[in-house]
Amino acid sequence: MNADAGPGGADPTPIGGGRTLDGMAAQVSIIMGSDSDWRVMEAAKAVLDELGVASEVDVVSAHRTPQKMVDFARGAADRGVRVIIAGAGGAAHLPGMVASMTRLPVIGVPVPLEKLDGLDSLLSIVQMPAGIPVATVSIGGARNAGILAARMLGAFDAELGTRLDAFAAELERQVDGKAQALRERVATGERAETGA
């Protein structure tokens, strides 16, 4: 297992041929500049799995494996991929470079690093020139990237649309439950702990 595997122990092992480990054609490809980015990017895979969207995972470095990046970007659509989620930290050129070589939508995830807390990554990804769009989520926002990819696909897939509706209803139920719990705490005079 990779030392950088996420909390679930999953390893970002490359999956070839556009197929997931269970043989399904991957609709979403999740790529990252380094295996150390998996700690953030795993959240995209987790939410896609939750929503029943087949995905693949790979490490594709814009700087250390440029030819692999070119081959990946130019071949993704032919392999059946419909959306690409690309995460990178630091200079974070991966999402933009991939977007420049494919007609598929690319969602960029700025991966926070020690220096600048991911602000450098965010600015590298979000400031794309006209004609080469990258949809950019928040710093470390891989979960939202997965949800956005599912929404893109769900616009043309009624079954996935139904699962997304159920997902949204569950979020609403959770918020309602938290709001009710807070109202009850306030009504009983419970105070929030402060650092003072």
* Cβ contact 31:94 at 8 Å: yes
3 state SS of 29: strand
**H or E, element range at 48:** helix 38-50
Long-range contacts: 183-186, Cβ < 8 Å, 24+?
none
Tokens of 185: 């705490």
64 is in an annotated binding site: yes
Burial 76-113 (b: 16+ CB within 10 A, else e): beeebbbbbbbbbbbebbbbbbbbebbebbbbbbbbbb
* Cα torsion angle, 33, 95, 160, 7, sign: positive
34 is in an annotated binding site: yes
58 is in an annotated binding site: no
- Known binding residues for substrate are 34, 37, 64
- Known binding residues are 34, 37, 64
